[in-house]
Amino acid sequence: MEQPEPDAASDDAMDSFLEKFQSQPYRGGFHEDQWEEEFEKIPLFMKKAPSEIDPKENPDLACLQSIIFDEERSPEEQAKTYKDEGNDYFKEKDYKKAVISYTEGLKKKCADPDLNAVLYTNRAAAQYYLGNFRSALNDVTAARKLKPGHMKAIVRGALCHLELKHFAEAVNWCDEGLQIDAKEKKLLEMRAKADKLKVGHSQQPIGIMKARNIKLVSEAAGEDGGSASEGLGALFLDGLSSENPYAAKLSVDDQGRLNWPVLFLYPEYAQSDFISAFHEDSRYLLACSLLTVLAGGT
C-alpha cells in the first residue's frame, strides 16, 4: 500500500516551529542554583505534600487531587482513597490528619461493612495515639457492630479499657477475642495484666467503696441530694490540703477492711477530737451519732 505524501503546509509549519524553538531559549527549565526547590514543586519528587494546596502555587498537585477525589467515583472508591490517605498519614505519625482522612472516608457512607469497619478501627488507632481513649473506644465499638470478629478492633478496645482503668471490661474484651483466637499473644498478655490490675484496684479504698456502693456526697449537692461525686474521695481523702487540714486518708488493712478518719464534734463545749484511723468494725464507730467522716462522707 502506498503511503500518502506529507502535506506541504504541515511540513513547512513544522520547520518553522523547529527554527523558532532553536532560536529562542527554553524558559521552563530549572535554574542550577534552585533545582532542589523547583523539584519540590513536582508531585513525583515531593518529599512532603503541603498541608494546604493552592491551585496557583501547585497546579499539578491540585490537578492530581481533583482526579483522586473525583465525586463522580463510587462511594466505595472514594472511601478507599481516604483510607489509603489516612494510612499514609498514620505511617508518618501525623495522627490528627489521619483522623481527618478516616472521618472523610466514613462520611461517604459506602455500602461495604468491612471497609467501614477498617475505617473505624484505623481511626481508633490514631485517636489512641493522640490520647483520646474514649473516642477510640467508641470507634472500635462501632467497628465491632459492623464486624463482630474484627480482631484489631478487639485488641484496640482492650487497650483503651486498660488506659481508662476499666480493668474488668478489658478482661471481658480479651476473653471475647480469645474465643476467636485462643493463641493471640497480645490478648493473652493484656488479659494477664488487666486481671492483675483489677485485683489490685479492687483492694484500693475507692475500689472497695464503689463495690459496696458507699457514696461520698459533696456538700455542694442540691437539696434533693444531688448526684454522688465519684472523684470526691480521691480529692478529700488523699493527704493534706485546705479542705483536709488533718491530712486524713482512708486506708485498707490486710483483710480488706476500711479504716476511716473520723472527726468528733462537741458543739456544746466548742471542742473536737480527731482519730486518723477508726476501724470500720468498731462498735463505737457504728453506734456513735455525733461523728462526721471527713470529706463530707456519711
Domain ranges, ordered by start, for the chain: 73-202, 210-296
Q: How far is CA 52 from CA 45, 49, 55, 57, in A?
A: 18, 8, 10, 10
Looking at residue 183, its pLDDT comes to 92
Does the pLDDT value for residue 280 go beyond 80?
A: no
Global pTM value: 0.53
In CATH, the number for domain 73-202 is: 1.25.40.10
Count CB neighbours of 14 within 10 A: 11
Looking at residue 227, its pLDDT comes to 46
- Report which of residues 208 and 81 the model is more confident about: 81
Span 94-122, pLDDT tens digits: 999 999 999 999 999 999 999 999 999 99
With contact defined as beta carbons under 8 Å apart, do 224 and 171 qualify?
A: no
Top mean-pLDDT range of 102-111, 225-234, 286-295 = 102-111
CA-to-CA distance for 61 and 57, rounded, in angstroms? 9
